[in-house]
Structure 1
Amino acid sequence: MADFHQNGVVATLHNLRERSLERMEKELTVFSASRPITLILPSLYSELEAPALEHIVSELSQAPYISEIVIGLDQASEEQFRSAKHYFSRLPQKHTILWHDGPRLRAVDEKLKAEDLSPDQPGKGRNVWFCMGYVLAARQAGVVALHDCDIVTYSRDMLARLVYPVANPRFPYVFSKGYYPRIADRSLNGRVTRLLVTPILLSLEKVMGHHPYIDYLKAFRYPLAGEFAMQTQILSDIRIPSDWGLEIGVLSEMWRNYSTQSICQVDIADAYDHKHQPLSPEDAAKGLSRMSIDITKALYRKLATDGVVFSQDAFRTLKATYYRTALDLVETYYHDARMNGLTTDRHREEQAVELFAANLIEAGQVYLDNPNATPFMPSWNRVQSALPDLLRDIQEAVRLDAED
């Protein structure tokens, strides 16, 4: 049974297990009449060949309140795009595929490049950004949700609980963030959240003192969750990173643009598992190593915009503080796991901490060497100002791809 603790910064909506999924979906169907609900699914073509997405599509087929599903398809040839159209044709809801590697959307991207507005690297962030542009162009959605395509423990009540706070017209929330425990195969997972984000936030607070942005991030039970929902008017103005800092970047934009009274987090699952990234200590451009650098850079840059001054001495102090804090948490997580009949490998956990500690310095050096970097993709408001017809171009490209 969940607790009912509130942290006082953002509202926490718990799962007290007193309500059936069917009743919630009936309400969502009513809400969707005035606030149509669109789901964005950023996907690699390779995920169509995995069992996780097969199950997700089966579950989504039973969700009556979804008005449209927008699939962002990456790393797909023309033959694979046609295969994807057949794959998703079983969905009873209206659904649209953005074939990012196709010639029509590449032509749209060339227009963006000509104005220096194109995202500079491929990945989930770029995929999501183009899907957001399509949703704005279609002008049909009142609520937009997003989740990944590799969730092996997926059930459709995850989506229902995620969208409910922003779909209900009597609630004040414009943004909801999912949270859950990362448990699979009798093991406690979620290493980047547990061993990087939590201890670095505690360490930043120790090193630089109280900061309301740190309080805000600490309030989220799973800040790296890839599941969130928002009202559509948010899409025009947010500036999100194109790298692994996407989730932290979205939370930062909500902090910049909205009162915390408009933001909530919601319990969407008792257990959650998806594709695991390797630690990749030998290659900082891959796996959790790259993820830790991107996330840390996103934190540094956001704090800098709030007036925090960083130096090499500050980063060295932060590393030492982080290392001690993270090692203490390794023990705490071990006790928590044992209490619940789960396991953690303390040797591998400490290896991850050592890598993340080194990457705090690496991310700091990247920040100091290039303080003028603009790691965010432009807002769609800016794109429309520079290229007034671009949203229509995206819509037309997607329509023609679907008809071919």
Structure 2
Amino acid sequence: MDYKQDLITTIHDLGCDIERLDNHLTEVSQSLPTAVLIPSLYEELQRPALTQIRDQLMHCRFVNNVVISLYAQTAEEYFQAVDFFGTLPQPTYVLWENGPRITKLLAQLQEQGLDLLQHRGKGRAVWLGLGVASLEAAAIALHDADIITYDKTYPLKLLFPLLEREFGIAFSKAYYTRLSEAPRRMHGRVTRLFVTPLITSLMEVFGYRDYLRYLNSYRYPLSGEFALTSDLALNTRIPADWGLEVGLLAEVYRNLARKRIAQVDLGIFEHKHQDMGTSSDKGLQKMCRDILKSVLRTLTETEQVAISRDHIRALSVKFRREAQNLTRQYFVDARFNGIEYDRHKEEVTLENFEKIILKAGDEYLEDATGTQIPDWTRALAVMPQLREQLRDAVVADMSDAREQNEQTRAVTTPSLTVIPQ
């Protein structure tokens, strides 16, 4: 049985009573409301994962609000999304993050010296969604829109530690086993073959550092599923690059005592897989590049580590050995459990990741500044009613969508002709 604890609290699933947790959280959420935030591209509506997520959320009595932060190219796509989520019983906000009304609000913010229009992607979607969700929720769970294995226990497990007052937890992070069926295969390449050996190598190069020990405490540091209190949401800078998950952990490290941080076991977990990419600007290679720069930046900011090219070269050498050792261990684990494992392919992958270290290191040494969206408290200092204005814009967008959808249904629904007797 696994009871292992580290710098942060690990909440294992040792056969927890889901019905008990559900009933308790449902009761508590009446006085401490909860929200689920899902950043999503319109394209996810066409895939089965998001349908599964929507249908499972319908049974989450402990979720008081749902916020969808949607990137849609056209009004028609947005209208379809509003219709898609219309079956949810919870009050639901489908936030068109690149729509005219939201863009206009961000332009007003830009005119006053705070430019969020320069940011694109998941970071801005998360930032906007947290603004709306924090208006009504005491705790917010966030996850991606591509989770194939999703069920209601995911938000339940993430939110429960935050609403159980005796725990004192303000941030919970998911960890899980990335394993597919037919064929059974290990996934999570960036975590297994890049982040894990990278952290170990950094410890060898720079010695004992509290931040590195903190990162090493997370069993799945790149999981996109977490929950946080609304207070923390308003005081957290959101990274705007592909290092969002690791960058967010750095913000939590700065803002919270370790005893207020937890990770929660979600069990077996699967979602769609990213391509490796043909260069360091694409796919998983770009993700690794941004992750390393984020970690190096935080080391300098929080641990006063002066990083040189000699450090980067040493890191690359150490990384190769650590990653190769891990592939042997993964092979043994996989063979024992009857899991398909291509050791050569794994070695090729880690060799590609190794090349990223030198490129990312050089980029960091040339420009150590990061790309982060200012926290909500700063935005509210500029426009105190910004969150309410965002919510009003969402409500107006959704009203337009419902009206248009009703008109479309009226036109496309054939009328019944009564034949006189």
Q: Is the counterpart of residue 285 in structure 1 residue 275 in structure 2?
A: no
Q: Which residue of 2 aligns with 1:142?
A: 138
185, 195, 198: which is aligned to 1:197? 195
Q: Which residue of 2 aligns with 1:50?
A: 47
Corresponding letter in the other structure for 2:4:
H
1:204: how far off? Answer: 0.3
Q: Which residue of 1 aligns with 2:393?
A: 397
Corresponding letter in the other structure for 1:117:
D
More deviation in 390-399 or 318-327?
390-399
1:376: how far off? Answer: 1.0
- Decide whether the 8 Å contact of 2:68 with 2:95 is kept in 1: yes
Identical-pair percentage:
38
Distance change in 2, residues 1:356/1:330 (3 Å): same
- Decide whether the 8 Å contact of 1:77 with 1:101 is kept in 2: no
For the residues of structure 1 that align with 2:390 and 2:136, how far apart are their CA atoms? 15
More deviation in 9-18 or 64-73?
9-18
Q: Which residue of 1 aligns with 2:5?
A: 6
Q: Deviations over 1:312-331 (max 9, x none)?
A: 11101111111111111111
Q: Is the counterpart of residue 272 in structure 1 residue 298 in structure 2?
A: no
Q: Which residue of 1 aligns with 2:168?
A: 172
- Decide whether the 8 Å contact of 1:146 with 1:227 is kept in 2: yes
Q: Which residue of 2 aligns with 1:378?
A: 374
More deviation in 112-121 or 195-204?
112-121
Corresponding letter in the other structure for 1:64:
R
SS of residue paired to 1:93: coil
Q: Which residue of 1 aligns with 2:21?
A: 24
For the residues of structure 1 that align with 2:373 and 2:261, how far apart are their CA atoms? 23
Q: Which residue of 1 aligns with 2:107?
A: 110
Q: Is the counterpart of residue 340 in structure 1 residue 357 in structure 2?
A: no
- Decide whether the 8 Å contact of 2:294 with 2:370 is kept in 1: no
Q: Which residue of 2 aligns with 1:224?
A: 222
For the residues of structure 2 that align with 1:46 and 1:66, how far apart are their CA atoms? 25
Corresponding letter in the other structure for 1:313:
D
Distance change in 2, residues 1:127/1:332 (3 Å): same
Corresponding letter in the other structure for 1:229:
A
For the residues of structure 2 that align with 1:356 and 1:309, how far apart are their CA atoms? 23
- Decide whether the 8 Å contact of 2:56 with 2:152 is kept in 1: yes
For the residues of structure 1 that align with 2:88 and 2:258, how far apart are their CA atoms? 36
- Taking structure 2 as the reference length, the TM-score comes to 0.92
Distance change in 2, residues 1:74/1:310 (3 Å): same
- Decide whether the 8 Å contact of 1:240 with 1:249 is kept in 2: yes
How do 1:72-221 and structure 2 match up within 5 A? Answer: 72-114=69-111, 115-118=113-116, 120-136=118-134, 139-185=135-181, 186-221=184-219
SS of residue paired to 1:34: coil
For the residues of structure 2 that align with 1:109 and 1:358, how far apart are their CA atoms? 38
For the residues of structure 1 that align with 2:33 and 2:385, how far apart are their CA atoms? 24
Q: Deviations over 1:346-403 (max 9, x none)?
A: 12211211111111111111111113x2411101111111233322321221121122
- Decide whether the 8 Å contact of 1:13 with 1:265 is kept in 2: yes
Return 5+ residue gaps in structure 1 as ranges.
none
Q: Deviations over 1:39-88 (max 9, x none)?
A: 00111000000001111111110111110000000133100111111100
SS of residue paired to 2:372: coil
1:119: how far off? Answer: 5.5
SS of residue paired to 1:230: strand
SS of residue paired to 1:42: strand
Corresponding letter in the other structure for 1:262:
R
Q: Which residue of 2 aligns with 1:243?
A: 241
Return 5+ residue gaps in structure 2 as ranges.
401-421
Corresponding letter in the other structure for 2:165:
P
- Decide whether the 8 Å contact of 1:85 with 1:97 is kept in 2: yes
SS of residue paired to 1:84: helix
- Decide whether the 8 Å contact of 2:297 with 2:370 is kept in 1: no
SS of residue paired to 1:235: helix
25, 30, 35: which is aligned to 1:38? 35
Q: Is the counterpart of residue 327 in structure 1 residue 337 in structure 2?
A: no
- Decide whether the 8 Å contact of 2:274 with 2:283 is kept in 1: yes
1:18: how far off? Answer: 4.2
For the residues of structure 2 that align with 1:380 and 1:18, how far apart are their CA atoms? 36
For the residues of structure 2 that align with 1:325 and 1:169, how far apart are their CA atoms? 41
Q: Deviations over 1:109-158 (max 9, x none)?
A: 2123331431533211111011112223xx21111100111000111111
**Cα RMSD for the two superposed structures:** 1.3
Q: Deviations over 1:263-295 (max 9, x none)?
A: 0111112x1110100111x22222101111111
- Give the total of aligned pairs: 396
- Decide whether the 8 Å contact of 1:334 with 1:343 is kept in 2: no
SS of residue paired to 1:152: coil
Q: Which residue of 2 aligns with 1:318?
A: 315
More deviation in 330-339 or 46-55?
330-339
Q: Which residue of 1 aligns with 2:408?
A: none
For the residues of structure 1 that align with 2:341 and 2:118, how far apart are their CA atoms? 38
How do 1:251-262 and structure 2 match up within 5 A? Answer: 251-262=249-260
More deviation in 241-250 or 212-221?
241-250
**Higher gyration radius (CA):** 2
SS of residue paired to 1:182: strand
Corresponding letter in the other structure for 1:124:
K
SS of residue paired to 1:82: helix
For the residues of structure 1 that align with 2:114 and 2:281, how far apart are their CA atoms? 25
- Decide whether the 8 Å contact of 1:119 with 1:242 is kept in 2: no
SS of residue paired to 1:267: strand
- Decide whether the 8 Å contact of 2:36 with 2:67 is kept in 1: yes
SS of residue paired to 1:255: helix
